[in-house]
Each structure stands twice: as structure tokens, then as C-alpha cells.
Amino acid sequence: MKHSLLDWADRVSTRLDSLCRTLGAAFLGLIVLAASIQVAGRYFMGYSPPWIEEITRYSFIWMIMLGTAVLVKSNGHAVIDLLVMRLKGKARQVHSGLVQIAILTCALVLLVQGLQLIAIVYQQLSPAMRISMAYVYAALPVGGAIIAVQCVNALLDGYRDQPSPAAQGV
């Protein structure tokens, strides 16, 4: 039973990672396309539609939040190598767990505060595109939730790597 739950958590984590990578690449493509249209419009017509800058900025926000979740899944976040390389065995595992708990705490703050922010700005419209700013700020709780899932899965990975008490003869 223990392993089926851990395997399920790993499958969810992997699918979320794939989704974040795909959407992140789509947002990056949208940023490149929008910026190219803006540059071409200014160069050839002396005018750029005002919505181009907004779509670029909002896509960047979403790309960053999704990319952060990918980094957490791949353990690519910033670390201080000097300390980690000196740790061995159990100390390294404890350090890794504490890092994941710190990231999880930040992710939960993003989730909760992001939801509160959406409740405040849901009627506010963006100046050029006239869309609800809730769609833009939804990147915070969505990213926070995905980061939290990835952190929990990383913590479960640490648990998964531990031998069972029966295997240890306890």
C-alpha cells in the first residue's frame, strides 16, 4: 500500500512537470512572437499595439511561475555547494529535507497570498487588453500549488529511499 501511494504521487508529479514544461515553452514562444511583432511594428509602421507589451509581461509572469515548479522538480534551485558537498549520509538527507520544507513553506505562502490577491483584483481590468487581472495573478497560487506538490513529492522521495523497518530487522 505504501509504495502504491508513493508511486501515485510520483506519477502526479511527473505529469505536472510535463505540463509545466509544455506550458512554459508555449509562454516563451508567445513572448518571442509578441516581442517580434512589437519590434516589427515599431520599425516598419512606427506604431505598436498596446496589448503587445501586456501579453509579453503576463506571459513572462506565468512562464516564471511554471519554470520555478520545473526547477523544484529537477532539484535545480539555487544551493550553496560548499556546505552540501561537505555533508554526508544522514546529515545530507536532513539538509535536503529542511530545504524542501523551506521551499514548501514559501510555496504555501504564494498559494494563500495569491488567492487573497485574486479576491482583491478580480474586478480590475488590464489597461490594454481589458481582461481581469485575476487571470494574471492566478499564476501565483497555481505556481505555489504546483511547487508545493513537487516539494511534497521530493520529501516522499526521501522517505521512499529509506529501507523499511522490516528490511532493517527492526
Q: Tell me the pLDDT tens digit for each residue of 138-151.
A: 999 999 999 999 99
CA distances from 116 to 15, 110, 111, 113, 141 (A): 27, 10, 9, 5, 9
Question: Mean pLDDT score of the chain, rounded to an integer?
Answer: 88
pLDDT value at residue 83: 76
Q: What is the pLDDT of residues 98-111, one digit of tens each?
A: 989 999 999 999 99
What pTM, to 2 d.p., does this model score? Answer: 0.86
Residue 65 has pLDDT above 90, yes or no: yes
Q: State the Cα–Cα distance between residues 145 and 98, nearest whole angstrom.
A: 19
User: How many percent of the chain have pLDDT more than 70?
Assistant: 91
Which residue from 94, 96, 114, 116 is spatially nearest to 106, judged by alpha carbons? 114
Do the beta carbons of residue 110 and residue 35 sit within 8 Å? Answer: no
